[in-house]
Amino acid sequence: MLLASDGLVGLAAAEVASIDLALVDIFMPNVEGLEVVRHLRERRPELPVVVMSGSDGTRSPVFTDAAPPDYLTMAVALGAARALRKPFMPDELLDAIAACFDDGTERAGPPAVPGALRGTGHG
């Protein structure tokens, strides 16, 4: 297991290390999660990526006339295999990871979208 302090360090590690799965937070210093997902899809298309975010999709003072962007849906559109909304239970993380490897390929069926995973109503 490798732990990266930010998106830039994580991308550098993915270039040289042998990793089987990337767990990516949407909001990270230096390089944010959406950019990490996009880069990993280009450089390591076989690598399953599970994204997570604490953003609950509620209105924000910054987005007064419209709902804020749903970053988890955006990450899935960019190629993330699974998405989890924080907080989530440990078994939800394990289920998302297992789903990435169920049939020996990156995705076992269509990618999960936020709200489709059991328990995403936690946050």
Say how many C-beta atoms besides its own lie within 10 A of residue 119's C-beta: 14
- Specify whether the CB–CB gap between 41 and 73 falls below 8 A: no
What distance in Å separates the CA atoms of residue 64 and residue 22, rounded to the nearest whole number? 34
- CATH code of the domain made up of 7-122: 3.40.50.2300
Task: Spell out the per-residue pLDDT of the chain, length 123, in tens.
Answer: 889 999 999 999 999 999 999 999 999 999 999 999 999 999 999 999 999 998 655 545 555 566 778 999 999 999 999 999 999 999 999 999 999 998 654 443 444 444 443 333 333
Stated pTM of the model? 0.76
Structure tokens at 89: 């239970």
Residue keyed to tokens 């955006």? 74
Q: How is the beta sheet containing 22-25 ordered, strand by strand? A: 22-25, 49-53, 82-85
